[in-house]
Amino acid sequence: MLEKKENYWDLLRCPKTKFPLRQIDSNLVTDSSDLNQHYRYKVINNIPFLVDFESSVLDEKRTIDTFAKRVIHAPPHKGIQALLKKLVSPPQVTTANNVRQLISLLKSKEKIPRVLFVGGASIGQGMQPFYDDENIKVLGFDIYLSPLVQFIADAHQIPLADESVDCVIIQAVLEHVLEPSQVVSEIYRVLKSDGLVYAETPFLQQVHEGAYDFTRFTESGHRYLFKHFELIKSGAIDGPGTQLLWTIDYFSRSLFRSKAVGKIFKLLFFWIQYLDKIMSEKYSIDTASSVFFMGKKSNQKITPKEIVKHYKGFQK
């Protein structure tokens, strides 16, 4: 369940210095004896905007005046709309299984674990169990406001204390950051010594979110991104069928210069993604639409030779 303000407010940190913050009127100010390190962050409607705009791709005025007004609160689909949504975007069995395993691992370590969602303005596919469980404390941040967000932040500078969370989940976010390795370093920093991380990231998907889409990862590249984490589990989320459906959608958009036409073609060919279920991972991982990594914070680093051995595809 979402964590209450009084339980996480003391964990908030200055994104520039990582020093504690103290509230002065409608601002949070860096708590430092050095006047040169006093930075001020707005608090709007009880939501801190903890972004170092000088080093971020985010524009301060747009974030506060525009992004802050983009409140994500999508109503549930109903009737035929719900059926079509389910056909085109069926529940992810792999994600659901991974979430069950992750929750089990967390509860074996901590009675009431704290889980941080990076990019948590909406509940990602398969992530509802974290929000439903009264014995899991959920923190979330994003660059958009929503009922699920406790603060606004840039993932390159997570404004939380060192070793303050038990688990970090970052689903469909790493493609949207300029420096993925820096984001993963921040995840490492805020995790406790035996903390867990779970990431899902595109491999073969077309550009989405326009100008804020930068990077893709193979399964091996994704695993190496988390080189300071011990591997628990990794693999493909969506296979070649889903990847082909993305291509049909975007090919149709490009050919007819219409997003609506792309959606029509996606609906016509929705069945292609179901062919993923009959493909072995060995043959699908090299053309996967997206991949995942589940790992534990470690003092050791995977070596270049080990990442070559890690390869799971058929091209050996």
For the segment 189-205, what is each residue's pLDDT rounded down to a tens digit? 999 999 999 999 999 99
Give the model's confidence band at 145: pLDDT under 50 very low, under 70 low, under 90 confident, else very high.
confident
pLDDT of amino acid 8? 92
Using DSSP's 3-state secondary structure scheme, residue 260 falls into: helix
Report helix angle 79-88 to 259-268, nearest 10.
Answer: 80
Please report, rounded to a whole number, the percentage of residues in the chain having pLDDT higher than 70: 94
Tell me the average pLDDT of the chain: 92
pLDDT at 10 over 90: yes
172/53 Cα distance (integer angstroms): 23
Spell out the domain ranges in the chain.
5-69, 79-310
Domain 79-310 belongs to what architecture? 3-Layer(aba) Sandwich (3.40)
pLDDT digits (tens, 9 = 90+) for 234-281: 999 999 999 999 999 999 999 999 999 999 999 999 999 999 999 999
Token pair, residue 76, equals 């549930």
Closest CA to 227 of 145, 297, 146, 154: 297
Query: What does the CA dihedral 278, 308, 101, 156 come to, rounded to 10 degrees?
Result: -120
Please report, rounded to a whole number, the percentage of residues in the chain having pLDDT higher than 90: 79
Using DSSP's 3-state secondary structure scheme, residue 234 falls into: strand
Q: How far is CA 109 from CA 22, 94, 136, 193, 296, in A?
A: 32, 23, 12, 11, 12
Sheet with 40-44, strands from edge to edge, namely: 21-24, 27-30, 40-44, 47-50, 151-153, 137-142, 114-118, 165-171, 191-202, 290-297, 229-238
How big is the chain by its Cα radius of gyration, in Å? 20
The model's pTM: 0.93
Residue that wins the pLDDT comparison between 213 and 83: 213
Residue that wins the pLDDT comparison between 108 and 75: 108
If DSSP states are collapsed to H, E and C, what string results for 107-171?
A: HHHCCCCEEEEECCCCCCCCCHHHHHCCCCEEEEEECCCCCCCCEEECHHHCCECCCCEEEEEEE
Residue that wins the pLDDT comparison between 81 and 32: 32
pLDDT digits (tens, 9 = 90+) for 82-112: 676 777 788 889 999 999 999 999 999 999 9
Total residue count of the chain as it appears in this document: 316
pLDDT of amino acid 187? 98
Stretch among 28-32, 51-55, 86-90, 295-299 having the lowest mean pLDDT: 86-90
